Amino acid sequence: MTELNKSAFLETIGQDVPTVVDFWATWCMPCQVFAPVVEEIAGEMDGKANFGKVNIDEERDLAIEYGVSSIPTLVIFKGGKEVERLVGVRKKAEVVEAVDKYC
């Protein structure tokens, strides 16, 4: 998964394929637990969806702009618009199902 800064973020979410953005931080233990699950899903869905990560400490403005108040938060975008949001650690099947709706 690619670490996204503001310019890469805007370019990535603007694509026609769904883009899943993982808002996280290094100090967040639930984020650390959830990261391998998201990485696994990203590998399995390669070609169907894009995946990226935003470190909220490094890209605070993006977290504020997109209303991220709790992490981990996965935001699914399609065509530049948010279509779904999953807050907190989730089961792999739940994330896959959410992303599949937009593929």
Residue numbers annotated as active site? 28, 31
How many residues are recorded in the chain?
Answer: 103
Q: Which contacts of 7-15 are long-range, i.e. CB under 8 A and separated by 24 or more positions? A: 8/52, 9/52, 9/54, 9/59, 9/62, 10/80, 12/50, 12/52, 13/77, 13/80, 14/79, 14/80, 15/50, 15/79
